[in-house]
Amino acid sequence: MPNVSPSILADYELVIGLEVHCQLLTQSKIFAPDAAAFGGEPNTDISPITLAHPGTLPRLNRRAVELAIRMGLALGSHIARYNVFDRKNYFYPDLPKGFQTTQDKTPICQGGQLEVQWRDQASKQSGQALVRLNRIHLEEDAGKSIHPAEASHTLLDLNRAGTALIEIVTEPDLRRAEEAGAFLAEIRRLVRYLGVCDGNLEQGSMRCDANVSVRRRGQTTLGRKVEVKNMNSVRNVQRAIEHEFERQVALVAAGGQVVSETRLFNADNGQTYAMRTKEELNDYRYFPEPDLAPVLITDEFLQAIEAAMPAMPKALQAQFTGQFGLPAYDAEVLTDEKSTADYFLAVADGWPTGATSRYKAASNWLMGPIKAYLNETSTDLATFPVPPARLREVVDLQEAGQLNFGQAAKQLLPALVAQPQRPAAELAQQLGLLLAATDEGALLPLIQSVLAKFPAEVAAYRKGKKNLQGLFMGEVMKAAQGKADPKKVSELVRQALETA
């Protein structure tokens, strides 16, 4: 790795443009009825159409068009009404057709933008960037070449060939690796929200290529770019960009020139390696695909897609902080996955406006014990057995002072998971968790005995050490074996200290 001094690095600006491929969640392929499933037996989901055998004709998958438009609408793109597909001709073993069917001149989504917020944990720096999109176009995927370790041959699996993709192409607007990471993470969140793609970078159903160049600060023309591939996580996209920045600056600062080429990222050592130079690339000889008629997007088709758009994470975040009064952090966590946001909304459904403490309690459940349960069991909310209405009952019990959150998280949650059809109050009762000790008659003797045990602390409290309240609270809760309403206890403890 070239060693470039920070002062030299500071003289240069990093310029990044991203190309993100997303496998669309369609049942079948983009031009053929073969299943578009992941992980099947190799070479089982391939029809003669996918292989473009003579006499076969492709037919466009309507759902793929819908999903591409969904993504475009979410990003504020202009939706092209007149679409043609083109043949991009090249030879490669995993492309048995000899050409890729793609959109060259008329991408289905044009322009658009995405605002991203980035944060760097290490330096504690943060910022935001507005990233303009160049386009989103539809195309088919190629098959997969598999290079077994210690083998001299390459294996081909053509199941992926013909799978529907969108390619999201940004303008070269990104200036930091963190911005690129944040952009990719936000795109992944959006495709999941929209049901466009499962967003799995590790399995490659979402893939990101980074175009990277450098230029001296103040220079207005762009430097020569390198395209980096083979990063299978947001983190690795950032690492690859950081490495490429230093490599290019070292080259240019020493009087050399960057070569236009495609490079592969190696996650083991964090470096990039030349794969092929752009100059050696074939001319793709694009021409309109003669077997597919132009596709016209009608007003009705577009309006139906618009009407079916779900609420976007940013809008939900605003609702969660505004209408529900949740902290920004909670709103961010709860809207990270659509299933979490949907679950929360279902829990909150029916609570009066202004029930802020209930919303916060529901949020605590989702961010705390429920999240822990899902992590432990490697499951998600989509298969979580406890229905939202049940969690609403739990929060209502808590709110009425009949349930202690800590205890309920430990004991009631497993019971609810095991018997989700039974009312929460009934299960809590059976487990002995329903608090009778909200009445003062039961609590006051406990409080008095605790205060009697800590005379020095009581005196200190009365002289102004108010934070000792926590100690008394803890002792009373312990004495009540946790079966007391913390709010009530706190109120009674304060009264006892202030009046006695």
In this chain, which stretch among 9-17, 50-58, 85-93, 140-148 interacts with ligand ADP, using CB under 6 A? 9-17
Closer to ligand ADP by CB, 77 or 213: give it. 213
Least distance in Å: CB of 170 to ligand ADP? 5
Closest alpha carbon to 23 in 195, 197, 193: 197
Contact call for residues 467 and 497 (beta carbons, < 8 A): no
Size of the residue set binding ligand ADP (CB under 6 A)? 15
Closer to ligand ADP by CB, 136 or 435: give it. 136
Contact call for residues 312 and 345 (beta carbons, < 8 A): no
Least distance in Å: CB of 225 to ligand ADP? 4
Least distance in Å: CB of 277 to ligand ADP? 12
Closer to ligand ADP by CB, 174 or 326: give it. 174
What's the CA gap between 476 and 116, in Å, rounded?
Answer: 48
* SS3 at position 240: helix
Least distance in Å: CB of 214 to ligand ADP? 8
Closer to ligand ADP by CB, 269 or 277: give it. 277
What's the CA gap between 35 and 40, in Å, rounded?
Answer: 10
Near ligand ADP by CB under 6 A: residue from 169, 251, 460, 471: 169
In this chain, which stretch among 12-20, 91-99, 354-362, 449-457 interacts with ligand ADP, using CB under 6 A? 12-20
Q: What are phi and psi of 23, to 5 degrees?
A: -75, 125
CA 107 to chain centre: 25
Least distance in Å: CB of 172 to ligand ADP? 4
What's the CA gap between 83 and 29, in Å, rounded?
Answer: 18
Closer to ligand ADP by CB, 16 or 164: give it. 16
Q: Decide: is 102 part of the binding site for ligand ADP (CB under 6 A).
A: no
DSSP assignment of 332-355 equals HHHTSSHHHHHHHHHHHTTPPTT-
Q: Name the token pair of 153.
A: 């041959």
What's the CA gap between 74 and 65, in Å, rounded?
Answer: 14
Contact call for residues 59 and 31 (beta carbons, < 8 A): yes
What's the CA gap between 411 and 1, in Å, rounded?
Answer: 54
What's the CA gap between 345 and 310, in Å, rounded?
Answer: 13
Least distance in Å: CB of 204 to ligand ADP? 19
Q: Which residue has the tokens 């929360």?
A: 344
Closer to ligand ADP by CB, 29 or 135: give it. 135
Q: What is the CA radius of gyration of the chain?
A: 29
Closer to ligand ADP by CB, 213 or 402: give it. 213
What's the CA gap between 355 and 326, in Å, rounded?
Answer: 11
Q: Which residues pair with 170 in a beta bridge?
A: 133
In this chain, which stretch among 72-80, 111-119, 210-218, 384-392 interacts with ligand ADP, using CB under 6 A? 210-218
Least distance in Å: CB of 235 to ligand ADP? 20
Q: Decide: is 187 part of the binding site for ligand ADP (CB under 6 A).
A: no
Least distance in Å: CB of 103 to ligand ADP? 13
Binding mask 211-240 for ligand ADP (x = CB under 6 A): xxx--------xx-x---------------
Least distance in Å: CB of 124 to ligand ADP? 28
Near ligand ADP by CB under 6 A: residue from 11, 13, 19, 198: 19
Least distance in Å: CB of 136 to ligand ADP? 12
Determine the residue type at 124: K
Please write down the HEC assignment for all residues of 175-237.
CCHHHHHHHHHHHHHHHHHHCCCCCCCCCCCEEEEEEEEEEECCCCCCCCCEEEEEECCHHHH
Near ligand ADP by CB under 6 A: residue from 94, 104, 120, 171: 171
Closer to ligand ADP by CB, 15 or 74: give it. 15
* Closest residue to ligand ADP, based on beta-carbon distance: 17
Near ligand ADP by CB under 6 A: residue from 58, 112, 172, 369: 172
- Is residue 347 left, alpha or beta, with left meaning phi > 0 and alpha meaning psi from -120 to 50? alpha
Closer to ligand ADP by CB, 215 or 360: give it. 215
Least distance in Å: CB of 264 to ligand ADP? 17
Closer to ligand ADP by CB, 231 or 447: give it. 231
Q: Decide: is 170 part of the binding site for ligand ADP (CB under 6 A).
A: yes
* SS3 at position 435: coil
Contact set with ligand ADP (CB under 6 A): 15-19, 169-172, 211-213, 222-223, 225
